[in-house]
Amino acid sequence: MERLEAAQSKVPGSVWLMLLFLITTVFYIGIRTGGFNLPLERLPWSILVPTLALFCFLHSLVMLGWPRAVTLLVLCVTISFGFEYVGESTGAIFGPYHYTDLLGFKLFDRIPALIPFAWYMMFYPSYVVTNLLAEGSPFPVRTGTAWIAWMAALSALVMTAWDLTMDPIMSFHPCETGSAGCLPVLLDETNLGHPAWIWADGGEHFGVPLLNYRGWLLTAFIVFLLFRWIETRLPHRPWRGARSRVMAWLPVGVYGSMAAIDAWLGYPEIDDIHLISPFAMGIPFLFASFQIFANRSDLPLWPRHDQHGAPAAKRSAKPRANRRSRAAKGGATSRKVSQ
């Protein structure tokens, strides 16, 4: 019994938190879908968005600490909702579109409550992937103004790559352009032909206007720019065990899984969409994974209990300074005695 308690005490709290999330998610998905009995053309957002948004928040708590984690959540949810509200109301940011009732309750009778959290569930993985691509670290390293702007732009590109496949899949329908007259009253979120939103004038990219992607780049850039600037002024407080390759890779795995889902699920009506995510998202995913597992051998593979949140260099700097000061004092004392 004592041996078991000792082994459990060596497991970092960050690992227990991720395991609790995994177990809860398995039961939640099983209850909502009935296990493997649900035929899927696309993943239901009522499951996907809450699950991944919760994962992103818990993981960012572990990796960044609560000041930065909460700041990213608040910035992403509020700014993306503001852009969505203005865009849906005016058509000026993303192009003219409107939401159907597929995604449930709407805020201010316009924007489904799931939408800001759908932005968030890809903001955080895109943030980690970009950090790895540009700096070889899941955490930002450089803090200059020009570098922050560059990282925000790169993050926006990594983020918008997801929408190249997601938007056509979620907005596809068999009706005439801009019309929903052929759709049933009750929409099924697992059915490809039941859209979550409808583009009034269609568009060049599988029925999606190119203006939508300029709007995505703009929205993502502003959120990333603000967060990357603010985070340099916030404390970085990762949990014990956060600095490990497996823990750092988890959001990268989420990013890669979204690419795999878009390439793997069946979309016979828009079959060419399969070709996009392996390149647009698969390449950043592979390079970010390579950075972690091939170039970061300085990090342990698995989380360790004896590993503090602060970097080892910073932890050891103060003891070394104390040892040097004690040695200097000892040298001075011995010289006084010899005199």
Give pLDDT tens digits for 268-324. Answer: 667 677 778 888 998 999 899 889 888 888 888 877 655 555 443 343 334 444 545
Q: What is the pLDDT of residue 203?
A: 85
Give pLDDT tens digits for 192-231. Answer: 778 889 999 888 888 899 999 999 999 999 999 999 999 9
Give pLDDT tens digits for 77-110. Answer: 999 999 999 999 998 999 999 999 888 899 999 9
192 vs 127, higher pLDDT: 127
CB 245 within 8 A of CB 281: no
Q: What is the pLDDT of residue 147?
A: 95
Task: Quote the DSSP letter at residue 239.
Answer: P
155 vs 319, higher pLDDT: 155
Enter the pTM of the model. 0.79
Q: What is the pLDDT of residue 96?
A: 93
In 3D space, the residue among 289, 99, 95, 75 whose CA is nearest the CA of residue 189 turns out to be 99
CB 237 within 8 A of CB 67: yes
Asked whether residue 325 carries a pLDDT value surpassing 90, the answer given is no
- 32: which 2 tokens? 């909502």
Q: What is the pLDDT of residue 19?
A: 61
Asked whether residue 237 carries a pLDDT value surpassing 60, the answer given is yes
Strands (E), 86-200: 97-99, 106-107, 111-112, 197-199
**DSSP-derived 3-state class of residue 99:** strand
Among positive and negative, which fits the CA dihedral 8, 11, 17, 20?
A: negative
The terminus-to-terminus CA distance of the chain in angstroms comes to 61
CB burial class (10 A; 0-12, 13-18, 19+) of residue 334?
exposed
Q: What is the pLDDT of residue 295?
A: 85
The strand pairing partners of 197, in sequence order, are 99
**DSSP-derived 3-state class of residue 40:** coil
**DSSP-derived 3-state class of residue 198:** strand
Domain spans in the chain, listed from the N-terminal domain onward: 2-308
By DSSP bridging, strand 197-199 and strand 97-99 are antiparallel
